[in-house]
Structure formats: structure tokens, C-alpha cells
Chains A and B, each alone.
Chain A
Amino acid sequence: GAGVSQSPSNKVTEKGKDVELRCDPISGHTALYWYRQRLGQGLEFLIYFQGNSAPDKSGLPSDRFSAERTGESVSTLTIQRTQQEDSAVYLCASSFSGGFGNQPQHFGDGTRLSIL
């Protein structure tokens, strides 16, 4: 079956613009995660969805970041008024929900965001 799909693959935009990143999880996966990875750095947790709810938003770095999920499927991560420090790869992962965190996550290819 299809894996986690993210779009766009690459996004280049000017500072101050808004961007929207999309994630299509594996069908049947109720848990969905967003991460940010700067060049040469580790994964930075942003937000987690269980179904359409986000019980933990503590990783969002500022109020310019928001995310939603609908139909227990597609999720969008929106960054408003982008800054150069937002440049990174944004990774989405999904998993079955068989107990909190007990299932392995499967990652999409990521969206490489560059802010000019």
C-alpha cells in the first residue's frame, strides 16, 4: 500500500509569506506526527494528532505555527509570516494507535522549506 505522502517536496518562498504543508498518512493510521529537522540536526517534535485531536501542541515553536487534521486523515501544517529560521525539512509520520507510542512511526519524504 501507499506510504506517507507529503507535499510539496520542496518549497522556496520569501520571508514574510505564509506556507502550507500537507501530509497524507498511511490509510488506517490514527496517529500522526510532525517534526522539523534543520540541516545537520536531530528531529524536533512539533505536534501530534490522535484522530483529529492534538493532545500535545507543546512542540510548536511559536504562534506562527499551526496544524490541523481532518477526517482522521490529511493534516496540514501552516507557518505564517515565515522567517529565515523556519528553513528546514518538515517531516510527517504516522502510526497505528495500539497504545500510546507503542507502534513504530512511518515517515514521509518530507518537505524541504527554504525561506529567502
Chain B
Amino acid sequence: DSGVTQTPKHLITATGQRVTLRCSPRSGDLSVYWYQQSLDQGLQFLIQYYNGEERAKGNILERFSAQQFPDLHSELNLSSLELGDSALYFCASSASPPGEQYFGPGTRLTVT
């Protein structure tokens, strides 16, 4: 158990819908990262937050957004969902530095 929690574990929704994924980092970690993992794209970094501020952006679509709240939990919002958005979405947290990341169990999103 890494100490990072993610909810929900599984999510099934239809195209065009909007969903929110939630992540609670390890106690004391200020950085939160979001990743998308699919069979064809591998592990893709989406976005990083540090103490409530956006720190780095990766391959995140405009239909996706995220935020980190004052209690340090983070939410990833996915809207206008497409079939291709079906994937595992991982959240990770770290104390910065040294950059070692602790991953949550992931949310499996299925878009039908």
C-alpha cells in the first residue's frame, strides 16, 4: 500500500459524458501527478500540481482539466468523453525533492 488513494476504482460511462477522478496523496506529499495508461499509448504523463499550483503539463487534452485543493487532494476532470479515453488513470504523489513517486491503484475508465 503506497498511501495514495484513488476513487473510484472503476468507472463506466458513455461517450460525451463528463467524469471526475479523485486522488488523495500520501500524508505530507505536496506534489500530485496524473498519468494515463493505455495499451496503445503506454504511460503518458498528463499534469503535475505542487501545493495547489500547476507545475508541469504533459500530453493533456483540452477536454481534460485538473486541480489540487487546499487539503492537497486532487481531481482530474474528463469531459466530452470519447472511446479512446478508455484507459487506466493513475495518480502519484511525491515529496519534492527527491522526486520519488508513489502511485495509487488507479481508476479504470471505460467509455462505451
B and A form one assembly: no
Q: Which residues of B contact A (CB under 8 A)?
A: none
Q: Which residues of A contact B (CB under 8 A)?
A: none
